[in-house]
Amino acid sequence: MERRDWIVLLPSLALALVFLISSSITHWTWQSRWDKESSRVATSSKAMAVLNRQEVELLAELNNPLSSITNTKFAKQQLTVNKELQSLLMQSHGNASEKAILAACARKRRGAELSGEGIQWRPKADRYLLMICQTGQVTNHLICFRKHMWFAALLNRTLVLPHGKLDYKYEHLLDMAHLKKCLGNSSVITFEEFAELRNETLHVDRLICYMHSCHFDKDHPRAWEALGYTFGERQDAWSSSSNPPAAHKDDILSRFACNAKVLAVGDLFYAAVEDSHGFAVAHDCTVSPVLPNRNIVVTAERFVQTYLGPNFLSLHFRRHGFLVFCNKQKSPSCFYPIPQAARCIRRKVWEARADVVYLSTDAPASEVDILKQELAGVTVVRRTKVHEAEAKWDSLLWRNGLESELAVMAMVDKTICVLGVGFMGTRESTFSYDILRMRNEMRTASSCDGFICDGETPSFLAQAP
């Protein structure tokens, strides 16, 4: 028998020894019944995790055409032994369910206890804050939106969403009915509602820029003006710095409070206001006021029911532009070689006891193909880019004319990721960070949430040019 073939046998022998010793110790130790049961479950959980890892890796080797295992019959015998040991461990716990011992991620689902405490939002009549966001794609714009909510609440103004030709159609992305139920009807309004209230008068009285020059590019003001907007006085809140310091509530009030009917503060994506000041607005709901549109939620649930089932691990594998971006970070780089990333993903799969992996990625087909090869034995599912007439999971989007909006489909991806028993994201990706936030606020977060190869250094790092 080859030396490598004996290696696959060792975990089973070791676990059998651990099982016998732990059973003996448990039998003769004078502890409370509760302590003994807790100890047994903890020991068995670790043992089952090791056995499960061995099972996954054996299956991967057997399903890999390039496998280095020379005796497949012996490997299959070890799979049988593996299953017998798992069965013995289960029998030692009597009525304890398999999920109670194995599914550590699933049983530790948690989330934010949302008390609704925060800034009281009491919009004054005929006082508005016009939202302007232009940095990045939909996730960055939603972060900018949440910061505008904080500003509007602090300044007691109604937040006006931008025109759909200048930004995303937020009413397609968010559950506006739920938002208004939580915060009040006058808290956030669409551009169309604003235009009707103002009798088509689209004048911004004051433009006080939080970021230098409102973080506008040269074309953005022209786009607003082309839609009939006119701007009054424009000034920088911090004239001496292109990167303003983190501002406290008193700073915001002193620099932005004014009697102008319509105020704008420019792009807030980079505004340092979220983490330092209890970025929260008081509301009347038990969950976050900012939730995906109901059409998006139902579509995501239908996708899960069709392709995934409840026991799946969601994975956001950001690649586009990250090879250069991550290598510029101080430590460590967040761009990993695919074989290394696959090993990290495989470990999380057995930790979560997931049946399948849902993959959300912008990676090219060549990278996705290699990732799937490295994850041989693990089912990987992606959302199809092209609508299939026979598939009904996305019919709700088609009936409402939303299927062609890239931002809507990005939100569908996020919401699918929210529903998994665990989530692995890409460090430094705002898309991944936003999914973690959504999982926390929607009470689906688990102990298996985290980042791919978190804490590891890439096994290979290219030199700087």
User: Within a domain: residue 272?
Assistant: no
User: Are residues 334 and 241 located together in one domain of the fold?
Assistant: no
- Give the DSSP H/E element, type plus range, for residue 425: strand 422-425
User: Are residues 226 and 343 located together in one domain of the fold?
Assistant: no
Domain containing 209 — which CATH number? 3.40.50.11340
Spatial contact of 420 and 103, defined as CB atoms under 8 Å apart: no
Nearest Cα to Cα of residue 17 among 56, 54, 43, 37: 43
User: Are residues 298 and 246 located together in one domain of the fold?
Assistant: no
- Can you give the pLDDT at residue 235? 86
User: Within a domain: residue 456?
Assistant: no
Q: Among positive and negative, which fits the CA dihedral 211, 214, 218, 219?
A: positive
User: Are residues 384 and 316 located together in one domain of the fold?
Assistant: yes
Spatial contact of 130 and 263, defined as CB atoms under 8 Å apart: yes
User: Within a domain: residue 122?
Assistant: no
- Give the DSSP H/E element, type plus range, for residue 83: helix 72-91
CB proximity list for 285: less than 8 A, separation 6 or greater = 114, 116, 178, 181, 182
* Alpha-carbon distances of 305 from 109, 296, 440, rounded to whole Å: 20, 14, 22
- Can you give the pLDDT at residue 65? 53
User: Within a domain: residue 218?
Assistant: yes
pLDDT per residue, tens digit, the chain (465 aa), is 454 454 455 555 555 554 444 444 443 333 344 344 445 545 655 676 666 667 666 666 665 555 556 667 777 777 777 777 766 666 654 544 454 445 556 544 555 555 556 788 999 999 999 999 989 999 999 999 999 999 999 999 999 999 988 899 999 999 999 999 999 999 999 999 998 888 767 888 999 988 887 777 777 778 888 888 888 877 888 776 656 766 677 888 888 999 999 999 999 998 887 544 445 788 888 888 999 999 999 999 999 999 999 999 999 999 999 999 998 887 789 999 999 999 999 999 988 889 999 999 999 999 999 999 999 999 999 998 766 767 789 999 988 888 889 999 999 999 999 999 999 999 999 999 999 999 998 889 998 999 999 989 999 989 888
User: Are residues 251 and 316 located together in one domain of the fold?
Assistant: no
Distance in angstroms (rounded) separating the CA atoms of residues 265 and 213: 10
- Can you give the pLDDT at residue 12? 55
- Give the DSSP H/E element, type plus range, for residue 48: helix 33-63
User: Are residues 438 and 312 located together in one domain of the fold?
Assistant: yes
User: Are residues 298 and 249 located together in one domain of the fold?
Assistant: no
User: Are residues 218 and 331 located together in one domain of the fold?
Assistant: no
User: Interhelix angle for 294-303 vs 406-418, to 10°?
Assistant: 60
243, 264, 285 — which closes off a domain?
264
Q: Token pair of 287, please?
A: 């969950």
User: Are residues 74 and 155 located together in one domain of the fold?
Assistant: no
102, 119, 141 — which closes off a domain?
102
Nearest Cα to Cα of residue 410 among 421, 422, 418: 418
Distance in angstroms (rounded) separating the CA atoms of residues 168 and 225: 18
- Give the DSSP H/E element, type plus range, for residue 263: strand 262-264
User: Are residues 323 and 433 located together in one domain of the fold?
Assistant: yes
Q: Token pair of 453, please?
A: 């190869």
Domain containing 309 — which CATH number? 3.40.50.11350
User: Are residues 70 and 140 located together in one domain of the fold?
Assistant: no
User: Within a domain: residue 154?
Assistant: yes
Strand 158-160 and strand 230-236: the pairing is unpaired
User: Mapping DSSP to helix (H, G, I), strand (E, B) and coil, where does residue 208 land?
Assistant: strand
User: Mapping DSSP to helix (H, G, I), strand (E, B) and coil, where does residue 424 land?
Assistant: strand
User: Within a domain: residue 286?
Assistant: no
Distance in angstroms (rounded) separating the CA atoms of residues 239 and 211: 9
Owning domain of residue 143? 128-264
**Owner of token pair 């239908």:** 302
User: Within a domain: residue 55?
Assistant: yes
Number of domains in the chain: 3
Distance in angstroms (rounded) separating the CA atoms of residues 47 and 311: 21
User: Within a domain: residue 307?
Assistant: yes
User: Are residues 370 and 233 located together in one domain of the fold?
Assistant: no
- Can you give the pLDDT at residue 403? 86
- Can you give the pLDDT at residue 277? 44
Strand extents, DSSP E, 55-182 = 128-130, 158-160
